[in-house]
Structure 1
């Protein structure tokens, strides 16, 4: 799906709510089921990554923020890890400012 030019303000409210609910634990779900599903997906991801050739090169889409025009699978994976940890850190800073609890130090 191409997201360029998407105007989410024109989405019907029920579509916005359905999208938001994909990131919420529903009353029908329990934590154990969610954690089991997470473990299944993590195992599937590990199996998938074990099969990849990390030196495979792929072309990047044309965009002004890409200095290089090609990345290896390894670089792509490391980029995803770096982005995930950076944003998790941001979320932790916000949580600490809300509840006053520190996870480190």
Structure 2
């Protein structure tokens, strides 16, 4: 599969979804495609370069969005036990999170994109199997969740979608600074 072939990695056995489930998955797939497209024709070294004052690189953005989507799908399936409370996070947890934003020695862009595709497949399976997007869980404790005691599966999917779209925009800026390539235009 080349990066600029949207949804070409979906198998014929993918579960059929309709209605709101399908709308959310289709919109998420579109933003995933924008993010993946920014990495087209790059070397592993280029995928790890910082091109702005930010610590972000293209490979790291894909890694971060992958980890975020994986964690939130675990939350949909398992509830708050799938995520650590902010108050329980250790220095190792914070260091591991910081590593999500960079390409580490031995990591390849192909490997990062493969992991992202696997998480996308899992998300599609989970969402297809949800009878109700209103199912809610209490959120883990974190300063950014104050006043929001629980999220429904719908709210989690909207968060993943927003996170993916935001980071696709970041990726576009990083790519343009790298070699002038643009996602659109």
Given the alignment of the two structures, is residue 47 of structure 1 paired with residue 132 of structure 2, yes or no? no
Deviation at 1:41, TM superposition (A): 5.5
Deviation at 1:59, TM superposition (A): 0.1
Given the alignment of the two structures, is residue 70 of structure 1 paired with residue 150 of structure 2, yes or no? yes
Q: TM-score, normalised by structure 1?
A: 0.63
- Where does the alignment leave 5 or more consecutive residues of structure 1 unmatched? 12-18
Match for residue 60 of structure 1?
A: 139
CA change 1:44–1:101 in 2 (3 A) is closer
CA change 1:25–1:96 in 2 (3 A) is closer
CA distance in 2, matches of 1:83, 1:99: 24
Contact 2:175 2:182 survives alignment (8 Å): no
CA distance in 1, matches of 2:137, 2:124: 21
Higher relative contact order, structure no. (Cα contacts within 8 Å, ≥ 6 residues apart) = 2
Contact 2:136 2:150 survives alignment (8 Å): yes
CA distance in 1, matches of 2:106, 2:158: 26
| Partner SS for 2:151 | strand
CA distance in 2, matches of 1:22, 1:58: 37
Question: Which structure: larger Rg?
Answer: 1
Count matched residues. Answer: 90
Q: TM-score, normalised by structure 2?
A: 0.39
CA change 1:42–1:103 in 2 (3 A) is closer
RMSD: 3.6
Q: 1:16-57: per-residue Cα shift (whole Å, max 9, x none)?
A: xxx83674157xx8x9xx5xx93x654443222111121001
| Partner SS for 2:144 | coil
